Amino acid sequence: GAVVSQHPSRVICKSGTSVKIECRSLDFQATTMFWYRQFPKQSLMLMATSNEGSKATYEQGVEKDKFLINHASLTLSTLTVTSAHPEDSSFYICSAFGDGLDQPQHFGDGTRLSIL
């Protein structure tokens, strides 16, 4: 079945570092990918919609300059957390789906980001 690969699975770094997270669709082309943030024991919060070949659409309250999204190909979207601070520590998850009404989304396994 369709698989979404997310890398890295865990990152621990110092405050001020920029961190890049990759999301790949392994056996299908994903015109649209989504990036979520999740706090412990809570639901997923949509951060942005990543569209291949165009600018990402950010949800209200999400800083575009803090969370840079690039969707350069039909199989890869990246999320870069720039100048990360402890409050950016969270679980980040991407999802992808191809074209077609009611196609299910497939989620990556998430990235645990810890900023010291």
Residue from 69, 84, 110, 113 that binds another protein (CB under 8 A)?
A: 110
Q: Whose CA is closest to 116, among 16, 24, 13?
A: 13
Burial class (CB in 10 A: 0-12, 13-18, 19+), 51: middle
CB of 45 to another protein, least distance (A): 8
Q: Which of 76, 92, 84 is nearest to 30 (CA)?
A: 76
- Binding pattern for the stretch 56-75 against another protein, x by CB under 8 A and - elsewhere: -x------------------
54 binds another protein (CB under 8 A): no
With CB under 8 A as the rule, give the number of residues binding another protein: 27
